[in-house]
Structure 1
């Protein structure tokens, strides 16, 4: 959920001759045009923020030398400073002045590129105009949102337009929710290849992780806490199928229809090879809905009885892991409650990371994550997928996942699945993203157990 908001202003900083903002509900969508005629392959919007600069740095160090990349934000001076820090390969990258509060500047930006890669969040506050602009222009889009209400907004406002223009609007392309989405996707691919039936109860376990929580993530949590005060929005966020429907057709699903996002789970119930107790994973409430949307967009290809949950490993010793899992569950609930309570939140704001803050380079390099996703198929066979990567999950590894998602959309168009609209990483990119991340050093595997 990492996000920056260094591309925001309370005033319109663009020239008056920029194209007017487009209302997709009021006009006929233009034909898809994000092909070779576009000036750029990828524009990084929010490049002056912490995660935005990390993403630009990855593109400068590891992107193809012939990739056409530009940096965008509202401050030319800050963009110039970032470009200078990126090294000689980025020395000639153009700078684009654009402002999240100026729809005209966003229309002008998306018209110039195949893909817009945005780290400007919280997306509920700063992302709505950009996602509509990209969909209207037929421009592919990637972000880092971990905000269910924002993705829901995007589905309602941009999905049909993006389908018509050929745009791929791809949310949650960082640690939220690529390991989750590709963990289920690679299971599906392996099981399908083996003819082993369909997925049933499926659970991701964050097996190991080292990394910090970003200021952008904290800021998004603040926005979500505020949204949850509204009873209608709270019902949306509690709906396990909140993102599985079409525009204006959110499925009415009971909370009990899917595994709980805050349950403490016996590891053996996930797979007989495991032991101990599993704790809730604090981003399950977003990631699970992205994975369920993938299955819905693929017409329940994972399985008619596919159910998905996320948990976190806290050790394998039964008594100790049960106690630890309980403490994690209580702590997670207390933290989210505190974010909703004004006086306590003011105290937390003094010590929590601020937007644009981030860990040192050493801490980012020393980070890592390992996720494992388990399922049992309709034929009774057990399968597991595993994703492992070096680098702080919310910073270095997220920058890799976001950048490779953008490059996949821009440069591997002939290999992409034929899906358009508001999509997920697995549906939009599938094996293209798996291959790119493996080349980038990720370990991604899936196969039978036992």
Structure 2
């Protein structure tokens, strides 16, 4: 992207809860001279958010744009080199903005965890974005950066060691403190409604290669169903299904395909949530599994959904600053390579995964797209964090305290 534009980066949805957190993060860490603007439907609300930001942001312009106004979105995309958006549910509100950025050659990143939305953007705008040079980066938060960059780090360490390719690979959330955002819950509701009503969409959602650029080119590795029950890992820890695995696993498999199956043609990938060891671990895993099943069933059934809607967070809501600060996550990814060697990647960060850590991940994705373009992978289209930003983003996150540490197991 060589032409001079009015802005370097526009944050769309800055008046929402995670949007405001991302604006605050950018105001603290963005270098002097980076031209950032805040965008949304209401100039007054944008100005109120700006007034509460650090001094560095007081001169940021505000841009009025509505997710349903194509002309405004086209003007927004044409005015900037990068768009970050927190406006969801993306399946309902996000497709026009992706289209505007794809046509304008504007890099884009979001926080979607909606497989069906991602499939729709691939089908509608991948070719256009490849032609214009736009990098469209979905899942640039806790969905799915730790998973995607963690597997990429494993791949690079294995390749550097001459240890073959990735084979059976697992991610286990060892410990976490924090909650799912109201936007995540709202997206889950929307996807459940579509899947129940549309058989074709249900098939895509359940397909482990549902985001593949070429479904027929994927290897036949047998069933790779998402875990639904309590299992016990080789390390003795009891494991429950991980709610976000249905998103993350598809993203990681898309990365492998976009990289020419560099992880390997026998690469198998699953994700779990650890309950711990011993009887207490088994009980914890069982409770988590039962609770997850109850949540999904409750959201799928009208009367119980109404009850859940009273207690689940609404979009735009979130925890206090103290709770966000005290949150954290610790993840371990392990792989057995085709040569029989084992590697482990530890991924962790301080801060509530769905709020503080996600704002950092989205913010650093935007900064990488705006500032590091010459070092990014030479690739455009509807991409993933690993294929669009890759190790440049990993290095940025390490610099702000996130851990991506790969070791070989003896």
| TM class, shorter-length | over 0.9
Aligned ranges 1:421-432 → 2 under 5 Å: 421-432=381-392
- Inter-CA distance 251–378: structure 2 relative to 1 (3 Å threshold): closer
Q: Helix, strand or coil: the match of 2:276?
A: coil
> Retained in 1: the 8 A contact 2:109–2:138?
yes
Is 1:95 the equivalent of 2:62?
A: yes
Note if 1:314 corresponds to 2:275.
yes
Deviation at residue 323 of structure 1 after TM alignment: 3.0
Q: Is the 8 A contact 1:239 1:254 kept in 2?
A: no
Query: Contact 2:240 / 2:288 at 8 angstroms: preserved in 1?
Result: yes
Distance in 1, matches of 2:350 and 2:106, equals 31
2:6 matched to 1:39? yes
Unaligned runs of 5+ in 1: 1-33, 269-273
Whether 1:262 aligns to 2:228 is: yes
- Partner of 1:304, secondary structure, is coil
1:30-429 superposed matches below 5 A: 34-35=1-2, 37-229=4-196, 230-246=198-214, 257-268=223-234, 274-317=235-278, 319-429=279-389
RMSD of aligned residue pairs (Cα, Å): 1.5
Count of residue pairs the alignment pairs up = 409
2-side partners of 1:211 and 1:305: how far apart?
34
d(CA) in 1 for partners of 2:24 and 2:58?
A: 12
| Residues 147-200 of structure 1: per-residue CA shift (max 9 Å, x gap) | 000000010001000000000000000000000001100000100111110000
Aligned partners of 1:53 and 1:324: how far apart in 2? Answer: 35
Q: Partner of 1:4 in structure 2?
A: none
Q: Does structure 2 retain, via aligned residues, the 8 Å contact 1:54–1:396? A: yes
Distance in 1, Cα, partners of 2:192 & 2:383 = 25
Q: Is the 8 A contact 1:101 1:126 kept in 2?
A: yes
Q: Report if aligned partners of 1:70, 1:95 keep a CA contact under 8 Å in 2.
A: yes
SS class of match (1:257): coil
Structure 2 unmatched ranges of 5 or more = none
Query: Following the alignment from structure 1 to structure 2, what is the Cα–Cα distance between the partners of residues 64 and 304?
Result: 42
3-state SS, counterpart of residue 287 of structure 2? helix
Give the deviation of 1:256 after TM superposition. Answer: 5.2
Q: 1:262: Cα distance to partner?
A: 2.3
Q: What's the offset of the Cα at 1:231? A: 1.7
Contact 1:110–1:116 (CA under 8 A) maintained in structure 2: yes
Distance 2:211 2:148 in 1: 14
Residue 28 of structure 1: aligned partner: none
TM-score in terms of structure 1 length: 0.89
Structure 1 residue runs of 4 or more that deviate by more than 3 Å after TM superposition: 249-256
TM-score by length of 2: 0.97
Q: Counterpart of 1:373 in 2: which secondary structure? A: strand
* CA distance 1:111–1:250, shift in 2 (3 Å): farther
